């Protein structure tokens, strides 16, 4: 599926008032839009730093359509929708009518006819969420929960919320290192796009040449490529380690996992090269002893579990904002996002 045939992301994702209609990719969205998502997500924490529950989507139906397995992302979307009082349906795609020969279009149209308001879609094909939003169900809000190697926008936004909450520094002042399987990672692409949009000027991408994608230099001067781990993480404020995407690697890209850990695994010695208050992140699931040492994953600088909690808040924000037009009529969205 080629994105070139689709409209630009901003045309698809925003309505005529400039509000979020779908959330498909970070690309094409403004700093103002991303900041609004972060501010709305932050508003879902109370003074004790606990997530709150609000009836913003009461009577709405959210359908989780996961054509690709993911327990963590699907569960946090479900938790987010329920905290907004939405009706949640998890559709078992493996046993759906598509396995019996029905086309994807017909399956989605039938689900739309069941009064669905939001589809949360994960698919192995890049561009699947765009295709659904543009040509299949444009009246349903489509939230991209990960499509192929292309994008994972809610993961990027929960990473941005974690960075903002944990470092308490402006993005313009941060040095961020992203380490690992850049070539196959939709998280890396979305994180880089979000960091750039929010103003980060020092983004380091660290990986062996076999795990670097072609054309990454197109991101510009604020994204630097490193093959050497030690040079890449020097004086960083944030380190994001990525999972080795074994299921997406279509040719031998690593000599071995042990060799990768030796060259690029995050351990105590390497972390000491970053700033003393550097935070360590990972989108999960982690391969301990491959991308990251257990002493770091469980250590005081790791904010990995905080990312999970922040993920619920961000997904609450995206779900609520995708229904913003209707919520504004009820005077609800202003109550949470100002």
Query: Residues annotated in the binding site, as ranges?
Result: 72-73, 100, 122, 152, 155, 186, 243, 284-285
Cα(121)–Cα(63) distance, integer angstroms: 9
Classify residue 42 by burial, with Cβ atoms within 10 Å: 0-12, 13-18, 19+.
Answer: middle
Per DSSP bridges, beta strands 61-66 and 202-206 are unpaired
Residues 270, 229: contact at Cβ < 8 Å? yes
Q: Which residues contact 201 (CB under 8 A, 6 or more apart)?
A: 172, 222
**Inter-axis angle of helices 31-42 and 153-167, to 10 degrees?**
70
DSSP letter at 7 equals P
Q: What is the dihedral of CA 119, 43, 177, 188, to 10 degrees?
A: 10
Single out the residue of 181, 65, 186 nearest to residue 127, CA to CA. Answer: 186
Binding-site residues for carbamoyl phosphate: 72-73, 122, 152, 155, 284-285
Single out the residue of 109, 122, 133, 128 nearest to residue 13, CA to CA. Answer: 133
Omega before residue 198 within 30° of 0, cis: no
Binding-site residues for L-aspartate: 100, 186, 243
Q: How many CA atoms lie within 13 A of 257 on its CB side?
A: 11
């Amino acid at each position: 599926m080629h994105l070139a045939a689709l409209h630009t992301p901003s045309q698809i994702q925003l309505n005529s008032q400039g509000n979020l209609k779908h959330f498909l990719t970070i690309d094409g969205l403004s700093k103002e839009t991303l900041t609004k998502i972060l501010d709305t997500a932050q508003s879902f924490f109370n003074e004790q730093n606990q997530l709150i529950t609000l009836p913003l989507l009461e009577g709405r139906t959210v359908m989780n359509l996961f054509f690709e397995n993911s327990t963590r992302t699907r569960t946090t979307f479900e938790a987010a929708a329920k905290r907004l009082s939405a009706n949640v349906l998890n559709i078992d795609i493996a046993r759906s009518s598509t396995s019996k020969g029905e086309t994807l279009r017909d399956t989605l149209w039938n689900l739309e006819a069941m009064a669905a308001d939001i589809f949360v879609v994960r698919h192995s094909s890049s561009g699947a969420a765009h295709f659904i939003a543009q040509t299949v169900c444009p009246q349903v809000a489509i939230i991209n929960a990960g499509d192929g190697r292309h994008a994972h926008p809610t993961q990027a936004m929960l990473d941005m919320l974690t960075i903002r909450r944990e470092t308490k520094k402006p993005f313009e002042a941060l040095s961020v290192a992203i380490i690992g399987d850049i070539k196959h990672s939709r998280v890396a692409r979305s994180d880089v796009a979000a960091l750039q949009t929010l103003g980060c000027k020092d983004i380091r991408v660290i990986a062996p040449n076999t795990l670097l994608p072609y054309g990454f230099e197109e991101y510009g001067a604020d994204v630097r490529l490193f093959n050497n781990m030690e040079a890449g993480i020097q004086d960083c404020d944030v380190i994001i380690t990525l999972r080795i995407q074994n299921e997406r690697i279509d040719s031998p890209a690593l000599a071995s996992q042990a060799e990768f850990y030796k060259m690029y695994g995050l351990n105590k010695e390497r972390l000491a090269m970053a700033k003393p208050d550097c935070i360590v992140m990972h989108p999960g699931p982690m391969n301990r002893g491959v991308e990251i040492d257990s002493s770091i994953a469980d250590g005081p600088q790791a904010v990995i579990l905080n990312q999970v909690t922040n993920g619920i808040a961000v997904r609450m924000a995206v779900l609520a904002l995708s229904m913003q037009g209707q919520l504004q009529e009820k005077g609800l969205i202003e109550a949470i996002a100002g």
